[in-house]
Amino acid sequence: MPIVKSKMGEAVQASVGVSSEEFSRVGLGGVFTVTCFDKDGNLKWEDKFHNLVVNEGLVYLNNTFFKSNGGTYTAAWYLGLITGPIADTTFTATQTLASHGTTGSGGWTEFTAYTGNRKQVTFGTPTSADPSIIDNSASPSVFTITAPGGTVAGAFLTTVATGTSGTLFSAGDFAADKIVTASDTINVTYSFSADAAA
């Protein structure tokens, strides 16, 4: 299912010299980059795909930066995997971590056949240019597969390592289903950009 880049509009007006027709728009978008290696370190497959930033993710973003005290805020982000088949996965803006349906019934299901919990994301320093980009490319989140066989169809970003009490920020699916086996290693990089456009 195609994932459309989410955008957040920012109306900017001054009392002198700015037409009411003029405004600035901030474009927000995330990209997952995923690679899979077998037990011997050989590359099995790789994929890159855009995400859907869901409604509760946008609300969380606004609350964090415009309502909460940003100076004392400490982010904790975690990446999870989504099971396939892709034909049965659906992503909508109204989905939450607690309510995203199940595979084959208008939603998606988390893939959990790997060691440990969802993997914490360590973001680097954002770039200062337009767009400003932040990612975890220096330290990708690593999943070690434990199942003898399985299908991975996508990934998601959330605020909790386990359970459904946190905030779902974004989710997206691969271009095609990916088959994994025990001892495979999946590395996931999440890149988020913000750009200003007139």
Compute and round to an integer the Cα radius of gyration of the chain.
18
Identify which of 46, 35, 28 has the alpha carbon closest to the alpha carbon of residue 133: 28
Distance CA 64, CA 6 (A): 18
Q: In tens digits, what is the pLDDT along the chain, a chain of 198 residues?
A: 434 334 333 333 333 344 445 555 778 889 999 999 999 999 999 999 999 899 999 888 888 877 765 566 777 999 999 998 999 999 999 999 999 988 888 899 999 999 999 999 999 999 988 889 999 999 999 999 998 989 999 999 999 999 999 999 999 999 899 999 999 999 999 999 988 765
Look-up of token digits 């027709």: 21
Strands, E, within 97-149: which ranges?
110-111, 119-120, 132-135, 141-144
CB contact at 8 A, 36 and 178:
yes
Question: What's the pLDDT score for residue 103?
Answer: 85
Task: Supply the pTM of this predicted model.
Answer: 0.84
- Residue 126: asked if its preceding bond is cis (omega within 30°), the reply is no
pLDDT digits (tens, 9 = 90+) for 173-192: 998 999 999 999 999 999 99
